[in-house]
Chain A
Amino acid sequence: MKPFRMLGRSIRDAVKSVIRNFSLSLASISCISITLIIVAVAIMASYNVQNFTREIEKDMTIVVFLDNQIEQDEIHEVEEQIKSISNVGEYTFQSRQEVKQKMQEESEIFSTVLENWEDEDSPLKDTFQVKVKNIEKIKDTAEKIQAIEKVSVVRYGEGMVDKMVTAFASIKKVTYGIVVALILVTIFLIVNTIKLTISARKREIEIMRLVGASNITIKLPFIIEGMILGVFGSVVPILITIYGYFAFYRHFDGYLYSRLIQLIEPEPFIYNVSLIVIAIGIVVGMIGSASAVKRYLKV
């Protein structure tokens, strides 16, 4: 079969070229490795940030305390109004009796103190626990709820939440920026490496063109060479990803600083990251070599 014969020939040529230009290949493999290590770290970091932002966002609730002297049908009215705010997601209602019961279950001291209070003179309030759809608009939503009649106090841990949300957003952007920049640098490096191996084989390419080799036949060995460099270049980053993340996870026991910032479980996370890393290596190698060989196909 002709296509297989050509593919076999291309692979043979590519391997030969990697070995023949060993020092050069090694140089570009190490460059790819270094870049991919940083890319891998950036990917893992950004996934983790994304993960615990999501986790924190899930836990973020607005607690709405209602007036003490509120009637049953008024509670219903407030509920309708909260429901009508567009950013409001799920919400639950807890009557003061339920709050009391919960607190009594939590500790014995509360249990005895609260025992003496009747519903009428209880300082506890009926509450709604509201989750929002978009965390960035939590402040807005809280203000809207506050404006509803018979709502006494609204709490959502204002300052800390706001700061965290904006910090995570900017961290995400910065890591994406770094990853993209590094990939561009890697492509540039591969273009230059393949250019050097091509210029050593300029005459060969010229003759191939003259005797009627199709462009894809000429390109294929170089594209495969780029892929080989990409694959070899991703070996070390993948090892670092797998062993490094395991060690990191174990060392911190699965969370950073507080229980709030949970790390992603190593499995299958690290394998997915490894796949991404090797895919980036291969694609980047292909793109680099394809663009390097292009200019030699004009004769």
Chain B
Amino acid sequence: MDLIRLKNVEKKYKNGVTAIYDLNLAIEKGSFVFVIGGSGSGKSTLIKMLYREEKPTKGQVVVGGLDVAKLKNKKVYKLRRKLGIVFQDYRLLPKLTVYENVAFALECIGEKKDIIRIKVLKALEDVGLKNKVHEYPNNLSGGEQQRVAIARAIVNDPKLLLCDEPTGNLDPEKSMEIMKVLESINKQRGTTIIMATHDKEIVNKMKKQVITLKDGHLVKFKQKGTYAE
């Protein structure tokens, strides 16, 4: 079954700019998909619609059986518990340690302490940071901070991991480390990953599915695609 389905989706912002025109998409469970395109192509808008920071103006967005457009503000948490999100700027809490940052995601949804401990340590092991549990984010490198953010995103075993330019602030070497982490999450946990990026090298090396957007239109949806202008 498809985890994500978009039907005739259009997104028009209040300032009159249309970011997405008539988009139809279906993404299968367990897939690894890149969303590529230049600035203003609508890739960020697409990601934002998937976790309902933005609502589509027309059409239907269904994520894991939930109709995102119809989701009330009060019920958004139901969607967010099914997915993890990673941003370009990590968004960690500086006053909390690595462990506490990851545990925070579970404490917020009222998980038990001993379960939190097991899940957090597992997630940190998956991203290769088990030896930095008690460090503060500011003492870590950018790549490490992003890995903490990934651990926080996957700690609740989501079906879907959304990444909005996760390597945007990192050098090529660190970026590849992140990609390896994401690939192993995709393989070992079976998590569906959707990643918006404009890093050609990564897309070409990984050989995954690629959605190409241009000026709000879907140009191509290819299996094992590359970044072609």
- A interface, CB within 8 angstroms of B: 2-3, 5-6, 9, 203-204, 206-215, 217, 297-299
Contacts and interface: CB of A to CB of B under 8 A. Distances in A.
A212 B53 contact: no
Nearest to B53: A299
B109 to A, nearest CB: 6
7 contacts: A9-B107, A204-B93, A208-B108, A211-B109, A212-B80, A212-B109, A214-B74
B108 A217 contact: yes
Contact of B73 (A3, A5, A6, A298): A298
A53 to B, nearest CB: 48
Given A6-B110, A210-B51, 9 more contacts: A207-B93, A209-B80, A210-B80, A210-B85, A210-B91, A211-B109, A211-B156, A213-B108, A217-B109
Contacts, number: 56
* Chain A CB within 10 Å, residue with most, of B74, B77, B91: B77
Interface of B is mostly: mixed
Contact of B80 (A203, A204, A211, A217): A211
A212 B91 contact: no
Q: Place the interface of chain B in its size category.
A: 20 to 34
Nearest to A2: B110
Nearest to B78: A212
Interface in B122-178: 152, 156
B110 A207 contact: no
Contacts of B76: 209
B156 A212 contact: yes
Q: Which 5 A-B pairs have the closest CB atoms?
A: A212-B81, A212-B80, A213-B108, A211-B105, A2-B110
Contacts of A213: 77, 108-109
